[in-house]
Amino acid sequence: MELRLLGPVEARRGDAVIMLGPRQRRLVLAVLAWEPNRLISVDRLVDLVWSGSPPSKAEHAIKVYVSQLRSRLTRAGATPDELGIVTQGSGYLLRIDPLCVDVHRFTDWVAQAQHATDDQRKVALLDQALELWRGPTLADTASQEVRLRLCAGVEEMRLCAVEDRSDSLLRLGRHRQVLGEITAFVEEHPTRERMVRQLMLALHLGGQTAKALDVAQRMRTRLAEELGIDPGTELQQLTLAILRNDPALTAHHESDRPVTAAPISLSTVPASRTRLIGRDQQVAEIAERFTVAGARLVTLTGPGGVGKTRLALAVAQALATHFDDGVALVSLAPIRDPADVLAAIADSLGVRDIGGASLGDALRNYLRGRDLLLVVDNVEHVLAAGPDVVGMLDAAPGLAVLATSRSPLNVRGEHLSPIEPLTDDAAAELFVERTTQAGTREDLDPSVVRTICRHLDRLPLAIELAAARTRVLPAAQLADQLDQVDRSGRRLDLPGPRDLPDRQRTLRAAIAWSYELLSAGEQALLRAVAVFAGGWTLDAAAVVAGLDPAVTVDLHAGLLDASLIVRRAQDGEARYDLLETVRVFALTEAEKTGAAQEYRARHCSYLETLIDKARVELEGPNQAEWLTRLTREQDNLRLAMRWALDHGELERFTEFTFAWRFWILLGHFSECRRWTAEAFAAGVAMSNTTRARLLTLSGFVSFSQDPDAALRMSDEAVELGRRQDDLATRELALGARADMARWVGDLDGAEAMYQEAIAIAKEHGAVFTLASHRVNMAGITIERGHYAKASLELAEIETELRAYGASSGLSAALTYHGNALIELGDWNGAEALLTEAIVTRMPVGDIFILMYAMQRLAVVMALCGRVERSAVLFGAAATLVDQLGVAHLGSYARTGEQAVGKVIAELGQDRYDVLFDEGRRMAPAELLALVTQAGR
């Protein structure tokens, strides 16, 4: 039995075609076959079959279609084991060998071709794959919208396969064949640069250099006219080489397939500094779970120290080109509360939790339609968040998750891949390689090496800890000491998987043995830094450990030598971290000494000092630098807040929440609501100032969820603030309440409160917040239709803020000013101001300003007739609107809709939808490049 989806949907038994019936019925089978052996909910089938407009009895219709399909397949001779639709709960799955479905054979052959080292073999595999293509996927069955949702990744894979094949043919000297085959593809995809480069090279090698240069010129003109951008560097270099008749072109080599779209996350898979030993087969097998078996959630399970994280990263690197949107990595090791898991994933993807929708909905909206592998590391202590992960998979058909955990997630659709210790040979190879890297010059006796590895149960982490000690201990002596540890029967009774107690005890014994070889000072430092979450700096470690900074540096060197901590450089700053297994051990030792509470108190004090300084810096020219710094310390901030709250120190807790811009700009609205609700429920007496601060933040982040409650909280905050001498708290409360007044259309009330806040800012010299209030006042002037007046006011404010070096207030002023110039008909001026605002705020991720500026720039492009650029920008802005909520656009929403109508009238709905989706999927770097070329 064979199912065909690459073209008209067909079911065949031998040469006989099985009549499946009407379109909806064929589509049900196609959706089930697209994800074989995986449960598909009835709701999802309804959504895909009727494209969001189902009839009243849609669920019943799905049941009827399934029954009819079963009947037709049975009559055609299909057995349930060969091809059967199985009912499970509220959904169905199609039991079938994936390779009996043409789309899965296609992806399998393409995957094999990517790993083929011989070009003849690569061409043969790709020929097989491309011969399966009979036309657009699901051509006679699915709507354009559904095809984009389901098939975009496979259709892009087809184009990449054509390109890979052409590269192989060019390397084999078959440029005439390439020229005949790829010309039609270039006509169909004229802005696909890789294909254009291949056509140019084939023409040049065939003696048609003038035509090759003409192709380059047409490409350059098309990109400039349609997208306003220049050709990529590779095409420019090829053009120059052809002009020079570079002999190197005859040895053309371009074997690496580029990623078809930049990863949507700034969190990329880190390159390993060491070789992965003994895991090649496992890497291939796990990768095939995704590429061949169609798995969407694979969990690597095993004891601590067995190498799950390292293996997951290797799998992710192997799969990077399989997913159009690349790979994103999120580590849950620093997370202590399952409620924070979605926030950690959102951070890794750059999704802001601003309150327009729940964080789960914001993530699902963002991921829907994307083709992405998400690597979720260290899940074992937050297993309660498993259903959240499944929810993302249900909403985003192109999403796949690779998780690492000591225990299964125990959720539907999970594929388990238990990771065992290394083989004897691989363990020995790892030990020898790590001793060499440690600088050991000893000639190692293979029998001694095997003895050491057996004592350590062939666990990679334990082996690396032991290998690091060969600089100071001969291998034979090391083996003797490990033998003594084993014979002592010592066990470190820490929580661990019940099914692997011996290996867990072995690893902890190895850590304890390595710990006991440290100096007393190194042991004390390791115990102190165990209280950090997400890493630390040398300065932070010195404060928490109560040590002289110079001594702290020396002790860190000892811990690095022992492989008990790791050093990572981030933006030029040295940060240190330790593995979760080592952290748990060290924290237990700190508890035994009675010093753990003191370390935690110092940790809280250090973070409190940092956030106090940051509160000032976040208002000024160093905002981006401090946001980056606080982002790195985010897990430590959470830990410090938890400590302060648990110890009833609400004043200290509130100091963290008072760093207003950190919480707002990084978009942690759900988390803020949770923190403030917990503070109010703590039953601890608080000052009016503390209450005013908490109410201000709580009201602001609750507005999109419950405007009435937000206004009540904000009103109380203003009332409390007016009674206090704390001018900063009073100003903050007034400014937040004025913002809300604008959002509900109370311009008079907003203006009065901004005026009051301005007077207070002048009184206590708050330069940057003063400018912010003035900018918002100018926004009200625009909303009242006084565009020329607002333009003059904003130009004056911009001049002042440029002198101060401010960025946030300046970007807001530029955005409002750009809007005023749109209304005044100065579209070129508006474009320049809005572009500057976007370029300034993109590195910070200031979603409020970016949403306004992006949407306004899209309007400008529509007005100027650059309608394709406009459609892309509207798509990019829509991603931000989804997160913030359309209510925050206010009157901008209406003018935006008018511009969209103009663009659709010129482009047509289908072309607009394609470009809009392109904008939604753009990575920040791509978007920034598009915006900065807007004037060309």
Query: Of 274, 378, 276, which is closest to residue 318 (Cα–Cα)?
Result: 276
The pLDDT assigned to 54 comes to: 85
Note the Cα 411 to chain centre separation in Å: 22
Residues 6+ apart with CB under 8 A from 570: 632
Q: Hey, which bits of 318-393 come out as E strands?
A: 327-331, 372-377
**How far is it, in rounded angstroms, from Cα 408 to Cα 225?**
53
Beta bridge partners of 88: 91
In terms of C-beta distances under 8 Å and separation of at least 24 residues, what long-range contacts does 6-9 make, across chains too?
A: 6/102, 6/103, 6/106, 6/132, 6/133, 6/134, 6/135, 6/137, 6/154, 7/133, 7/134, 7/135, 7/136, 7/137, 7/139, 8/134, 8/135, 8/139, 8/140, 8/141, 9/138, 9/140, 9/141
Distance of CA 40 to the CA centre of its chain: 25
* Residue whose C-alpha is closest to residue 509's, from 497, 523, 493, 495: 493
What distance in Å separates the CA atoms of residue 320 and residue 262, rounded to the nearest whole number? Answer: 11
Say how far apart CA 331 and CA 403 lie, in whole Å.
10
Taking Cα atoms as reference points, which of 817, 746, 826 lies closest to residue 779? 817
Please state, as a whole number, how many other Cβ atoms lie within 10 Å of the Cβ of residue 552: 23
Contact between 873 and 913 (Cβ < 8 Å): no
- How far from each other are the two terminal CA atoms of the chain, in whole angstroms? 55
Residue 936: the pLDDT is 39
Contacts of 52 (CB under 8 A, 6+ apart): none
Q: Are 83 and 18 in contact (CB under 8 A)?
A: no
Q: What is the model's pLDDT at position 492? A: 31
The CA distances from residue 798 to 1, 815, 828, in Å, are 70, 11, 18
User: What per-residue confidence (pLDDT) applies to 490?
Assistant: 44
As a dihedral over the C-alpha atoms of residue 864, residue 869, residue 875, residue 881, rounded to 10 degrees, the angle is -40
pLDDT score for 489: 44
Q: For residues 394 and 113, what is the distance between their CA atoms, to the nearest angstrom?
A: 30
DSSP 8-state code for residue 423: P
Note every long-range contact of 252-255, with CB atoms under 8 Å and residues 24 or more positions apart, other chains counting. Answer: 252/170, 252/171, 252/201, 252/205, 253/171, 254/167, 254/170, 254/197, 255/167, 255/171
The pLDDT assigned to 187 comes to 83
Residue 10 φ/ψ, nearest 5 degrees = -140, 150
Residue 615 vs residues 358, 437, 660, 662, 728: alpha-carbon distances, Å: 27, 44, 7, 8, 11
Q: Is the dihedral of CA 230, 235, 241, 244 positive or negative?
A: negative
573 Rama sector, left if φ>0, alpha if ψ -120 to 50, beta otherwise: beta
Q: Which helix (H) or strand (E) holds 545?
A: helix 538-545
Q: Which residues contact 628 (CB under 8 A, 6 or more apart)?
A: 571
pLDDT at site 88 = 83
- Determine the Cα–Cα distance for residues 104 and 528; give it in Å rounded to an integer: 52
Q: Which residues of the chain have pLDDT under 70?
A: 81, 227-228, 250-273, 353-357, 441, 485-506, 569-573, 805-807, 845, 882-895, 925, 933-936
Smallest CA-to-CA distance from 291 within 10, 489, 515, 103 is with: 103
From the list 104, 83, 105, the residue with the least C-alpha distance to 94 is 83
Task: Give the total residue count for the chain.
Answer: 936
C-alpha span between 616 and 614 (Å, rounded): 5
- Measured distance CA(362)–CA(702) in Å, rounded: 15
How crowded is the C-beta side of 292, counted as CA atoms within 13 Å? 12
**Residue written as token pair 């976007």:** 838
User: What single-letter DSSP state applies at residue 353?
Assistant: B
Burial of 592 by CB count in 10 Å (0-12 exposed, 13-18 middle, 19+ buried)?
exposed
**Phi then psi dihedrals of residue 95, to 5 deg:** -85, 115
407-441 CB burial, b ≥16 within 10 A, e <16: bbbebbbbbebebebbeeebbbbbbbbbbeebebe
The one-letter amino acid at 121: R
Rounded Cα distance, 174 and 191, in Å: 24
Burial 507-516 (b: 16+ CB within 10 A, else e): bbbbbebbbe
Cα separation, 920 vs 530, in Å, equals 41
What are the beta bridge partners of residue 3? 11, 101
Segments of 792-927 assigned E as strands: none
The pairing of beta strand 327-331 with beta strand 372-377:
parallel
332 half-sphere exposure, CB direction, 13 A CA radius? 29
Question: What does the alpha-carbon distance between residue 696 and residue 720 come to, in Å, rounded to a whole number?
Answer: 10
DSSP for 250-303 reads GG----SPPPSS--SSS-PPPPPSS---S-HHHHHHHHHHHHTS--SEEEEE--
CA 571 to chain centre: 19
Q: How far is Cα 510 from Cα 492, in angstroms, rounded to an integer?
A: 10
Neighbours of 759 (CB within 10 A): 13
Amino acid at 274: T
Give 372's contacts (C-beta < 8 A, 6+ positions apart).
Answer: 263, 264, 323, 324, 325, 326, 327, 328, 396, 398, 399, 400
Cut 0.85: pTM above it: no
Cβ 393 vs Cβ 421: under 8 Å:
no
Report the run of H or E that residue 506 belongs to, with start and end. helix 501-516
In three-state form (DSSP H/G/I as H, E/B as E, the rest C), the secondary structure along 139-162 is: CCCCCHHHHHHHHHHHHHHHHHHH
- What is the residue type of 237? Q
Amino acid (one-letter) located at 632: R
d(CA 455, CA 478): 11
